Amino acid sequence: MRRRIVVEQGEVTAIARLMGCTTVFVSYALNFRRDSELARRIRRMALLRGGIEVGNEPAKGGTSNEGKAMEAAV
């Protein structure tokens, strides 16, 4: 599963309003598709407002757990 921050319904709009940006940018930031200073501030705010970080796969080029299980079996 890709790394992202999950927030309650309506939080994306609230964060966008507070940070002075679009809801699209907030969505990209919460899905780790952007890594600017603003995106990092958005992620920090989302976590402070009750968001939960989920997923452990790196944003790009990650390996699946299947491959790790196969290596362990050998």
**DSSP-assigned beta bridge partners for residue 53:** 5
**Entry pTM:** 0.74
Going by C-alpha positions, the residue among 2, 18, 15 that lies closest to residue 46 is 15
Inform me whether the pLDDT recorded for 32 exceeds 60: yes
How far apart are the C-alpha atoms of 46 and 32, rounded to whole Å?
A: 13
- The domain locations on the chain are 4-73
How far apart are the C-alpha atoms of 65 and 42, rounded to whole Å?
A: 29
Mind listing the pLDDT tens digit for each residue in 34-70? 999 999 999 999 999 999 999 987 656 544 444 444 3
| pLDDT given for residue 60 in this prediction | 63
| pLDDT given for residue 67 in this prediction | 45
